[in-house]
Chain A
Amino acid sequence: MSRRSLFRFPWRSRQQIVRDVDDELAFHLELSARELAAGGLPLDAARAEATRQFGDLEGTRAYCREVDGSLEQRARRAEWMRELWQDVRYGARKLWTSPGFTTVSALTLALGIGANTAIFSVVHHLLLAPLPYPAAERLVIPWRLGPQGIMMSPSRELFDAWREQSRMLERVEVHSARDFTLAGEGEPEVIRGARITPGFTAFLGVAPVVGRAFTAEDARAGAAPVVAIGTGLWRRRYGGRADIIGLTIVVDETPRTVVGVLPSDFNGPVSFQRGNEVWTPIPMPRAERRPRVEEDFGSPLARLRPGVADSVAERELARIATERGDVRPGWTAKLMHPQEMRAGGARRSLLIMLGAVGFVLLIACANVANLLLTRAGARAKEIAVRVALGAGRGRLVRQFLAESALLAVLGGAVGVVLAWWGLRVIVAMRPNTLQSLDQVRLDPAVLAFSAGLSVLTGLLFGLLPALYASRVGVSELIKTGALGGAGAASGRRFRGVLVAAEVALSAVVLVGAGLLVRSVMRLERVDTGYDPRNLLTVSLTLPPSRYATAEARSAFHHALLAEVRAVPGVEGATVATGVPPRLGLLFGTIEVEGRELSPDEKARPLAYNSVMPDYFRLMRIRVREGRAFTSEDVGSKARVLIVNDALARAHWPNESAVGKRMRLGGDEYSTVVGVVATVVAGGPQGSDESRHQIYFPLDAPDARASLVVRASAQGAPGGDPLALVPPIKARVLALDRQLPLRDVATAQSLLRDSISRQRFNMALLATFAAMALVLAAIGLYGVISYAVTQRTREIGIRIALGARPARVQRMVVLEGVRMTAVGLAVGLASALALSRLLASLLFGITPRDPATYAAVATLLATVTLLACWIPARRAARVDPLAAIRTE
């Protein structure tokens, strides 16, 4: 060990180094000259001779200065590292010897850092990380853009024109999501998939796991039908068999040869929410030409040429479309960015969550800062000794920071574990609008974020206590043995500010959570217009190849209903094209006999449903006027329809709608035979375009329809309508072995799904609010407890002098109330200002909903009173004799 590490020498300045070298050389020359002079030379000549004998004096001088300078620097660096290591080891020892403090602080930080890590990984996945495709930032989805922001995917002809003529787009491919029915071996099932252009996989840099991707030959008209499947389907349905390539499977009634297995997580950036597992090539060019009828072709995906601005490409695409006569006047083109579409509409709520967890982390920091302050007070003697032994303020601050950095790293490590766990919870309860969340990982970028956050956190909560603890004078410390006097007073003030800030922050998060909770409560209490209890829906798609005519489809439905109604536990069953909240929309010109409608009224979309006569009774939709359909209405020449009350009120105000006539899209007039209650459709609270509803008798059932079954309230085995699925499935397969059941759901789960995003946001924010509240309460409790401990002697004297315990108790509680009242006021005011950001996530209440604010104020006041009351009670029980004797 070098001497430097045993004794700390003051560092030499640059001038000092220069002087040392000069002194050393001068000393040498002096002795050398003296030696020569002793030999008989005159002094002057001796000096000259000594210099000559020395050699390159100036060169040596410069060389030595340089060497010494670098030596000094290296020594300083080494010393700094050594001291840091010392600080870290010392800090670790201190943390080890106070496990209570360390555990509480590390867990507090872990909560904060964990919540931030979890939310950041979601934000990173949905907003920040580039899509996993080559040149993902240049991927665009070009669509047609009409007036009022209407967007339409391009027709096949327009797609061809864009692909051939555009100079701004490098490449254009198509992805058309669709559901395939898989039959052949095993039970028939419906699998999500897509039709794609042959180049689509290569375009996105996706390589088949087994076999090959599609080629241009596969898409040629008349080519042998082929299919590619996902790895998941391969394993699940085909047991991962090695001879999958070349196997023939029946997809939508067509036998197709499997040519490749694609990675299952390959969804294409156009359909993030789907787990596609079956792909077929889009025939190019299309088989038969039917001009004037636009084919549902799918969505193109293109890559911009490098450096091309969206607006430039949009102008070019609009020009091509207009030249082709493909779009009506006023239509242009619009590029969408898959990267931005990934988060769906969740961008705002994600950022709000990030803000909320940021607040939680700040509260956690404040708590730990408070604990550190308290500890610094308790460690006054140790600090005094260190100062007396010559530790400078910088060294003390560094010592404390090393300790808090260690604490932060510890908290960060536990936090990452919490985040991993929290992320699994988040993924499990993800809303159906954010299905791609199942691919969120704690990847290196996220871990780097947590590491950075931990260090920052350590500085944040460690710096102030470190500065505070290192500020006190030695003499004062040694005299009082405590960080007393002015130090203690300012420490108490600082603690008060911290607690007030904690209360304010948690008030903001609580208000946010409260607003979301009230919104969801409103959403759940929306009058659905029908009775969703014990209701089961199953969607059936009758393939045209086997059910070509309306009669065939109708016959199947009636046979099925007869079977299903006989299943034990079934109260009733019917068939309809739609099941709320999912109803189809009709766009067409509305005409009402005897009334001139405004253009807006004429163009208003209608939610429609084609239903069997018993639909209203089964759904328990109230018939307000007139009647429901009868069996005579089905297939009758007299065209009839039923409207909802909103439509009736809009078109026949102040008179009965029954018996009036209206028509759609220039069709024949139909007579309104009944007016029914509005059902919620199109969204959690009913969308505007679904507000007007219209019902037709189901006389020519579509290929696709839903079976709706009501389980008898007492009869459903286990009270769960889903228990009826196996017997119903057996009945369906008995009628048609190739027919898959799809979209099996209860009406209640459909309703829950329709507000899944709102519930998700609520659950997250409520969790963070609970964390904020608990942390703030712990913080306040800690501060008041500490204050009581510090003032035990004073309180003892007060009691000895006759203060009643109740009075002492009130005094302590009041101190806490003073701290929190300010925080609460500031917090509620900030919440008022910030809650505007939440407006788009709310339903049925304003961001200034008084009930929410009142509830939050009450809750916080109650919790803070409780947090103060416990230490206050202890204060009131102080034994004056014991208290005075202890010091």
Chain B
Amino acid sequence: MVRAPVNLLQGTVDVLILKTLSWQPMHGFAVSRWIRQRTDGVLGLEDAALYQALHRLERRGWVEAEWGLSENNRRAKFYVLTPAGRRQLRAEDGVWRRYAAAVSKVLESTALEPA
């Protein structure tokens, strides 16, 4: 499945969130910090985009939200991966790996193949 660059970006955000939530339920801030730490800030994921993606994923039924208490006892909205979300993550994961492998192959080829 090949996507246009803009979609690729949106898809990227979605798959990152799904992967993050696959470890444990988290609130939005935690998701944001988790991704930032793992990518060393390289992706520069904007919080605005993150929250929009979270709500979008909720509407698609891939994550569910529940209100709970944060570490410091504040009312916070926690996101949980649903079984459908887990299936989606697996699917996206495969696509991404093949995609990345294909891109790497192109970038690693140093010279034209002999004719």
Which of A20, A28, A71 interacts with B51 by CB under 8 Å?
A: A28
A55 to B47, Cβ gap below 8 A? Answer: yes
A55 to B75, Cβ gap below 8 A? Answer: no
B64 to A55, Cβ gap below 8 A? Answer: no
Any B CB within 8 A of the CB of A64? yes
User: Which of B3-11, B17-25, B54-62, B86-94 lies at the interface with chain A?
Assistant: B54-62
B51 to A64, Cβ gap below 8 A? Answer: yes
Which of B47, B59, B61 interacts with A70 by CB under 8 Å?
A: B59
A63 to B47, Cβ gap below 8 A? Answer: no
Kindly report which residue of chain A lies nearest to residue B59, judged by CB atoms: A71
Contacts of A27 in B (CB 8 A): 27-29, 70, 74-77
Contacts of B74 in A (CB 8 A): 27, 30
Main secondary structure, interface of A, reads helix
B28 to A28, Cβ gap below 8 A? Answer: yes
Which of B48, B55, B58 interacts with A55 by CB under 8 Å?
A: B48
Any B CB within 8 A of the CB of A59? yes
**Assembled-state Cα–Cα distance A53/B45 (Å):** 10
Which of A2, A31, A59 interacts with B82 by CB under 8 Å?
A: A2
Any A CB within 8 A of the CB of B32? yes
Kindly report which residue of chain B lies nearest to residue A68, judged by CB atoms: B55
B28 to A63, Cβ gap below 8 A? Answer: no
B48 to A67, Cβ gap below 8 A? Answer: no
Distance to closest chain A CB from B69 (angstroms): 11
**Assembled-state Cα–Cα distance A366/B49 (Å):** 62
A28 to B48, Cβ gap below 8 A? Answer: no
Contacts of B48 in A (CB 8 A): 54-57, 59-60
Which of B47, B56, B58, B66 interacts with A54 by CB under 8 Å?
A: B47
Distance to closest chain B CB from A62 (angstroms): 10
Which of A28, A31, A64 interacts with B52 by CB under 8 Å?
A: A64
Contacts of A70 in B (CB 8 A): 59
Distance to closest chain B CB from A19 (angstroms): 11
A24 to B49, Cβ gap below 8 A? Answer: no
Contacts of A164 in B (CB 8 A): none
Q: Mark A6-33, 1 if CB is under 8 A from B, else 0.
A: 0000000000000010011101101110
Which of A28, A53, A71 interacts with B58 by CB under 8 Å?
A: A71
Contacts of A235 in B (CB 8 A): none
B55 to A28, Cβ gap below 8 A? Answer: no
Contacts of B46 in A (CB 8 A): 54-55
**Assembled-state Cα–Cα distance A291/B77 (Å):** 102
Kindly report which residue of chain A lies nearest to residue B27, judged by CB atoms: A27
Any B CB within 8 A of the CB of A289? no
Interface size class of B (residues with CB under 8 A): 20 to 34
Q: Mark A288-301, 1 if CB is under 8 A from B, else 0.
A: 00000000000000
Contacts of B59 in A (CB 8 A): 67-68, 70-71, 74
**Assembled-state Cα–Cα distance A109/B65 (Å):** 49
Contacts of B58 in A (CB 8 A): 67-68, 71
Distance to closest chain B CB from A9 (angstroms): 10
Given A2-B64, A55-B47, A59-B48, are A28 and B29 neighbors across the interface (CB < 8 Å)?
yes
Given A27-B70, A54-B48, A55-B46, are A32 and B29 neighbors across the interface (CB < 8 Å)?
yes
Residues of A36-79 contacting chain B, CB below 8 A: 53-57, 59-60, 63-64, 67-68, 70-71, 74
**Assembled-state Cα–Cα distance A64/B56 (Å):** 8
Any B CB within 8 A of the CB of A546? no
**Assembled-state Cα–Cα distance A54/B28 (Å):** 12
Contacts of B28 in A (CB 8 A): 24, 27-28
B47 to A53, Cβ gap below 8 A? Answer: yes
Any B CB within 8 A of the CB of A3? yes
Kindly report which residue of chain B lies nearest to residue A24, judged by CB atoms: B77
A25 to B51, Cβ gap below 8 A? Answer: yes
Given A28-B28, A28-B32, A55-B46, are A23 and B51 neighbors across the interface (CB < 8 Å)?
no
Contacts of A54 in B (CB 8 A): 46-48
Contacts of B61 in A (CB 8 A): 2
A residues at B contact (CB < 8 Å) = 2-3, 20, 23-25, 27-28, 30-32, 53-57, 59-60, 63-64, 67-68, 70-71, 74
Q: List 28 A-B contacts (CB under 8 A).
A: A2-B64, A3-B64, A3-B66, A20-B77, A23-B75, A23-B77, A24-B77, A25-B51, A27-B28, A28-B28, A28-B32, A28-B47, A30-B74, A32-B29, A32-B47, A53-B47, A54-B46, A54-B48, A55-B48, A55-B49, A59-B48, A60-B52, A63-B55, A68-B55, A68-B58, A70-B59, A71-B58, A71-B59
* Ranked 8 nearest A-B pairs via Cβ: A55-B48, A55-B46, A67-B55, A54-B47, A60-B48, A71-B59, A64-B55, A56-B48
Beyond A60-B51, A63-B55, A71-B58, 15 additional pairs, beta carbon < 8 A: A24-B76, A25-B51, A27-B27, A27-B74, A27-B75, A27-B77, A28-B27, A28-B32, A32-B29, A54-B46, A56-B48, A63-B52, A64-B51, A67-B59, A71-B59
